[in-house]
Amino acid sequence: MKHNILLALSAVMLVSCQAPNPETTTDLNTAETMNTANDQTAIKDLLFAYRDALNASSVDQVLPLYTTDGVFMPTGFPTAVGTEQVKGAYAGVFSMIKLNIEFFIDEIEVDGDHAFARTTSRGTTLIHATGETVPEENRELFVLQRTDGGWKIARYMFNKMK
């Protein structure tokens, strides 16, 4: 009896050490690749919606793109945390300038329900106080979070490249 149990245990261990079924592994890899591709597409859509909101100077378009505890860290201004502060920060920015920019996505990395995106933007800025239009060029870092409503901006920071 003891001998039969040892043989059975050895057989179970041997089977569990075998290489995974290539068809199953391929199916899992394909599903994971499709999920990542879907996430990256959704994140690209989010980033371009953000660009459009900036170009429209629309606080109402920006706010739904952020998580409720989102953080906006603009160059030269205080950090804004949460919906009300983010709303006030964008209202202040849009009262001073009008952007006309394009986003270029350099990198998107997804890890479960979090992701980051590294982008650059180029275009022009109209300064309301002077009426002057100046070149605009930034690099940005987005930390994103998957929510029930899809991907949202959890943290956003940018700085001037020149």
Map out the domains of the chain as residue ranges.
Answer: 17-160
Residue 1 tokens, joined? 């009896």
Contact in structure between 61 and 87 (CB atoms under 8 Å): no
Quick one: pLDDT at residue 31? Answer: 54
Mention every residue, 6+ apart, whose C-beta is less than 8 A from residue 160: 75, 137, 138
Query: pTM of whole model > 0.85?
Result: no
Contact in structure between 155 and 70 (CB atoms under 8 Å): yes
- 17-160 maps to CATH 3.10.450.50: yes
State the SS3 of 103-123: EEEEEEEEECCEEEEEEEEEE
- In a 3-state reduction of DSSP, which class is residue 7? helix
Quick one: pLDDT at residue 41? Answer: 96
Quick one: pLDDT at residue 122? Answer: 97
Contact in structure between 96 and 77 (CB atoms under 8 Å): no
Positions of the chain with pLDDT under 70: 1-34
Quick one: pLDDT at residue 17? Answer: 45
Quick one: pLDDT at residue 35? Answer: 77
Contact in structure between 50 and 137 (CB atoms under 8 Å): no
Beta bridge partners of 147: 150
Residue 136 tokens, joined? 């605009």
Within its chain, how far is the Cα of 130 from the centroid? Answer: 34
CA atoms of 69 and 67, how far apart (whole Å): 5
Look-up of token digits 């890890």: 111
Quick one: pLDDT at residue 128? Answer: 97
Write the pLDDT tens digit of every residue in 143-159.
Answer: 999 999 899 999 999 99
Quick one: pLDDT at residue 11? Answer: 41
Alpha helices in 17-125 (DSSP H): 22-55, 59-62, 82-96
DSSP 8-state secondary structure symbol assigned to residue 126 = E
